A and B are shown apart, each in its own frame.
Chain A
Amino acid sequence: MLWELFLTFTFIGAFSFGGGYGMLPLIQQEVVYNHQWLTIQQFTDILAVAEMTPGPVAVNTATYVGYKMAGVLGSALATTGVVLPSFVLITTLASIVIKNKDNPRFQGAFQGLRPVVVALVIGAAILVGKDTIVNIPSVILALIALGLMEYTKLHPIFILLAFGFLGIIIY
């Protein structure tokens, strides 16, 4: 059982490109249909919990499913499994990038990558914003937050907490 948990979440970690919600279909396939560790209802509940707590969805799901199936040890193993592929891949990629820093083709590739990354980040804001910025209060909140981010040195953590408490007050 423990071994199976570890292997399944290693598999999820290795094949979940795109991060965040991109990996949900794969997690659902493995956890709900292939292994039947959770019902679809329980899976939806975990998503709600994952929404309300910090941390990547994949990590949160691994911790929760691991605990449900095999206690604290199970959750530790499932979480280790889900981050292991990232760890191996990224340390390898990072060492390649650092070694080839001065290669002109490598620099050329990053010249092309930078505008794409900017587009991905701004695009993410647009895509998340479509579902989030839906009424006048949320427009005002977003504009104030953007102003604070651009014109003050406030830490984003502080802005997030402040807006959370503002949410409790106004909603």
Chain B
Amino acid sequence: MSRPALSPKFLFTLFFSFFKVGCFTFGGGFAMIPVIQREVCDNKCWMEQEEFIDMIAVTQSAPGPVAVNSSVFIGYKLAGIPGAVIALLGTVLPSFIIILLFAVFIASQSGTKYMTKFFEGVRPAVVALILGAGLGMGKKSIKDSFSVILGLLAITALVLFKIHPIVLIISGAIAGIARSIILSERNKEVS
């Protein structure tokens, strides 16, 4: 893993990237995944797609908002603790400022009416963006029968049986470790 030089210029770029993400994570939680993914994997090339998927697995298994966790993880990976602080500030600052403004000046009636319509248009797009991100990740990481079966089991458990994501993540990790142990045993027998 190569770390970009810890220059003020790089930290500024990092801050600005996450500030942008923070400005546009409507709908919370998973809605920011496509936005961060495009910024971090495609625009800035700071991470491979697979690293990004692994990062989501880690940030989903810890408490706290996914957007906050992801920015801390990516910032830390790229530039250590200073990077984590800068990325976190960038993510949180937009909502901090906007909510303060909201609390100080209560939104006017007509303003709220336009906001509501704005969000009626945004919401279907958010669903599509999340779906698109998921399909893109699937193309990268669902390659063999093991991952197909695991993915299908997980989505059934989540959508039909409302199993908590934490349980799914832990089960996935255990299944993966078990498989790697079995595979290495088998290799030993062969050799």
A residues neighboring B (CB under 8 Å): 13-21, 23, 49-60, 63-64, 67-68, 72, 75-76, 79, 82-83, 85-87, 89-91, 93-95, 97-98, 101, 104-105, 107-129, 132-133, 138-139, 141-146, 149-150, 153, 155-157, 159-161, 163-168, 170-171
Contacts and interface: CB of A to CB of B under 8 A. Distances in A.
* B contact residues, range: 35 or more
A125 B164 CA distance: 16
Interface in B79-106: 81, 84-85, 88, 92, 94-96, 98-100, 102-104
Given A55-B92, A94-B76, A132-B123, A118 B53 contact: yes
Contacts of B13: none
B33 A121 contact: yes
A171 B119 CA distance: 10
A61 B76 CA distance: 26
B172 to A, nearest CB: 3
Given A132-B123, A167-B119, A168-B121, 20 more contacts: A18-B164, A19-B66, A51-B119, A52-B119, A55-B67, A55-B92, A59-B96, A79-B92, A87-B68, A90-B76, A94-B73, A112-B173, A118-B142, A119-B154, A119-B158, A121-B30, A124-B134, A127-B158, A156-B129, A164-B118
A142 B154 contact: no
Given A107-B180, A108-B176, A138-B123, A126 B100 contact: no
Contacts of A93: 58, 62, 73
A118 B141 contact: yes
B64 A58 contact: yes
A27 to B, nearest CB: 12
16 contacts: A14-B63, A16-B65, A19-B65, A52-B116, A55-B96, A83-B64, A87-B68, A87-B85, A112-B176, A118-B134, A119-B154, A124-B29, A128-B127, A132-B126, A146-B132, A167-B121
Contacts of B169: 113, 116-117, 120
B95 A54 contact: yes
A21 B133 contact: no
* Majority SS at the chain B contact face: helix
Given A119-B158, A119-B168, A127-B159, A97 B54 contact: yes
A149 B180 contact: no
A160 to B, nearest CB: 6
Contacts of A110: 54, 57, 173, 176
A56 B73 contact: no
A125 B27 CA distance: 12
